[in-house]
Amino acid sequence: MPNKRLSLVIPVYFNAESLPPLSVELSAVEEELNKRNLDLELIFVNDGSGDGSLRELLKIKEHRPATKVISLSRNFGSIAASKTGFGFVTGDVFGILAADLQDPPQQILQMAEHWLAGHKFVVSVRAAREDPWPSRLLSRLYYRLIDWMVAPGYPAGGYDLMLMDKSMLTHLVNSTKHTNVALYAFWLGFNPVILYYVRRKREHGISRFTLRKRAKFLIDSISGFSATPIRIMSVFGIVVAILSFIYGTHIIIAALLGSFDIRGFATLVALISFFSGLILFMLGVLGEYLWRVFAAVNNVPEAVVDETFL
């Protein structure tokens, strides 16, 4: 029987410093996988890096010719880069690995054993993370919102490192633009085997996942999978309408009975300002959903491949 194949898609963005040690760790992982009758397919996707990442990737390919290197024309984001890499997957099982070495490559060995045991979906959840406290706080808030609004039961520590059976590949390749790959894989409904690990401290380079990108990622994740924000707006509108009707009725009756003079210009201005801002916010939320529809039908590619080294 020929060996089965495990494909790893590795998005690369300003990771020139971490790629050489990553290559060393992946070589050790490959040796262990071979002992389990698994071949390793490496697919690096250079996401428009402005440093020497592509040069380092070509060095890796020079020493390991089977390595696949795909270079995008510019930075499209890690999600688009990962989905581009999925198009080059030929393995029986596939996954995503970050190039910054914060997720230990050795974790793949445990995950592969569970896949060999017959499980289609294996994820490694962060039991702890050696990140700055603002990053930990934002991550905790993000995953609680995801659990509440999108996917009940989603692992509280979150995950990026996962292995998926090839039966899941078609769903991910054909998913819409800006889709959160980890969240979408969980949403598909395959019962995951959950492993735990400690996320390493970043030793090479700096994170390019800025606060603006985090906010966009949160908005994409919620608006791409859940109608909860729209339903919250609807419920809020109904509650405000009922309260306004009750209050208006009270004012009219009180005025007719001469109980008090009708005053409150400052209160009126404050209420108008508040609800005007709220209306603009609601229009913005609706616009986010309309943009998802537009992005899905305008046929603009999610990413553009510049060069391939196969």
pLDDT digit string, tens, across residues 35-44: 999 999 999 9
- Specify the pLDDT at position 160: 85
Q: Which one has a higher pLDDT value, 257 or 264?
A: 257
Q: How confident is the model at residue 264 (pLDDT cuts 50, 70, 90)?
A: low
Segment 99-143, tens digit of pLDDT: 998 889 999 999 999 999 999 999 999 887 666 767 777 778 888
* Cα separation, 224 vs 182, whole angstroms: 13
- Specify the pLDDT at position 35: 93
Q: How confident is the model at residue 278 (pLDDT cuts 50, 70, 90)?
A: confident
Which amino acid, 252? Answer: I
For 285, counting Cβ atoms within 10 Å of its Cβ (0-12 exposed, 13-18 middle, 19+ buried), the class is: middle
The mean predicted confidence, pLDDT, of the chain is: 85
Q: How confident is the model at residue 266 (pLDDT cuts 50, 70, 90)?
A: low
Model confidence at 287: pLDDT above 80 = yes
Model confidence at 304: pLDDT above 80 = yes
- Specify the pLDDT at position 130: 65
Average pLDDT over residues 75-87: 91
* Cα separation, 11 vs 158, whole angstroms: 18
DSSP SS3 for 99:
coil
Query: Which of 190-199, 224-233, 262-271 is the most confident on average?
Result: 190-199
Model confidence at 239: pLDDT above 90 = no
Average pLDDT over residues 69-78: 92
Q: How confident is the model at residue 255 (pLDDT cuts 50, 70, 90)?
A: confident
* Cα separation, 187 vs 173, whole angstroms: 15
For 48, counting Cβ atoms within 10 Å of its Cβ (0-12 exposed, 13-18 middle, 19+ buried), the class is: buried
Q: How confident is the model at residue 46 (pLDDT cuts 50, 70, 90)?
A: very high
**Which of 94-108, 151-165, 254-268, 296-310 comes out lowest in average pLDDT?**
254-268
- Specify the pLDDT at position 55: 94
- Specify the pLDDT at position 147: 81
Q: Where in the chain is the domain with CATH 3.90.550.10?
A: 4-209+303-309
Average pLDDT over residues 193-209: 79
Dihedral (Cα; 264, 265, 268, 272), 10-degree rounding: -170
Closest CA to 126 of 74, 161, 163: 161
Note the CATH architecture for domain 4-209+303-309: Alpha-Beta Complex (3.90)
